[in-house]
């Protein structure tokens, strides 16, 4: 992002076609999805912003596009080219080889959630361990560990599907 430029970030769920916008991040770099454009100087925030909301779910892809405050939001040509980002393929998959999940929820994920909760050396960042609630709360706790165990036991995704968001 260009420092000083007021820009809104549009998120399109490629599965449902639903459009939302990235809201203002909190002090921990967590940003909600909001129903209308919010213009910010994004250079003042961390380089990585964790986006959460009921529209974000496993095994989906999302297009992120920027819009300057001087541009016409009704004109599709005003938006940047889309950056397509996928989410993890398997609910509960937080760890794998290196920093990326490996595509399956297994005991390595449960162990990583416990390490994240304890905060030991080499633990994953809390945002990566935050499985519950659906809206990111920035903490790793027993609720997240329980969600990881449920995923390991092949329980389905426990939250509303993106199409059922308010």
Q: How far is the C-alpha of 11 from the C-alpha of 20, rounded, in Å?
A: 5
Q: How many CB atoms lie within 10 A of CB 131?
A: 25
Instruction: Count other Cβ atoms within 10 Å, centred on residue 97.
Output: 8
The residue with greater pLDDT, 101 or 80, is 80
pLDDT surpassing 60 at residue 163: no
Domain ranges of the chain: 7-86, 90-157
pLDDT of res. 7: 92
- The model carries a pTM of 0.76
Strand, helix or coil for residue 56: coil
Instruction: Supply 160's token pair.
Output: 């509303």
For residue 6 the two structure tokens come to: 């007021």
Instruction: Decide if 30 contacts 136 (C-beta within 8 A).
Output: yes
Residue 24 pLDDT level (bands cut at 50, 70, 90): very high
Please provide the average confidence, as pLDDT, over all residues in the chain.
85
At 70-87, the pLDDT tens digits run 888 888 899 999 999 988
Q: What's the confidence (pLDDT) of residue 140?
A: 85
Q: What is the rounded CA–CA span in Å between residue 144 and residue 148? A: 6
Report residue 90's pLDDT band, with 50, 70 and 90 as the boundaries. confident
Residues β-bridged to residue 20: 11
pLDDT in tens, 32-54: 889 999 999 988 886 777 887 77
Mean pLDDT of 94-105: 80
């Amino acid at each position: 992002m260009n420092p000083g430029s007021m820009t809104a970030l549009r998120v399109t769920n490629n599965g449902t076609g639903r459009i939302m916008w990235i809201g203002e991040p909190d002090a921990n770099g967590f940003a909600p999805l909001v129903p209308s454009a919010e213009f910010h100087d994004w250079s003042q925030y961390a380089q990585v912003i964790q986006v959460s909301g009921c529209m974000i779910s496993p095994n989906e892809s999302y297009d992120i596009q920027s819009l300057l405050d001087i541009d016409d939001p009704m004109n599709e040509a005003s938006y940047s080219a889309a950056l397509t980002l996928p989410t993890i393929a398997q609910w509960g998959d937080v760890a794998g080889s290196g920093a990326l999940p490996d595509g399956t929820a297994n005991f390595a994920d449960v162990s990583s959630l416990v390490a994240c909760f304890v905060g030991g050396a080499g633990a994953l960042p809390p945002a990566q361990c935050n499985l519950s609630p659906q809206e990111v709360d920035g903490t790793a706790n027993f609720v997240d560990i329980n969600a990881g165990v449920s995923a390991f036991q092949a329980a389905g995704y426990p939250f509303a599907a993106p199409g059922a968001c308010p």
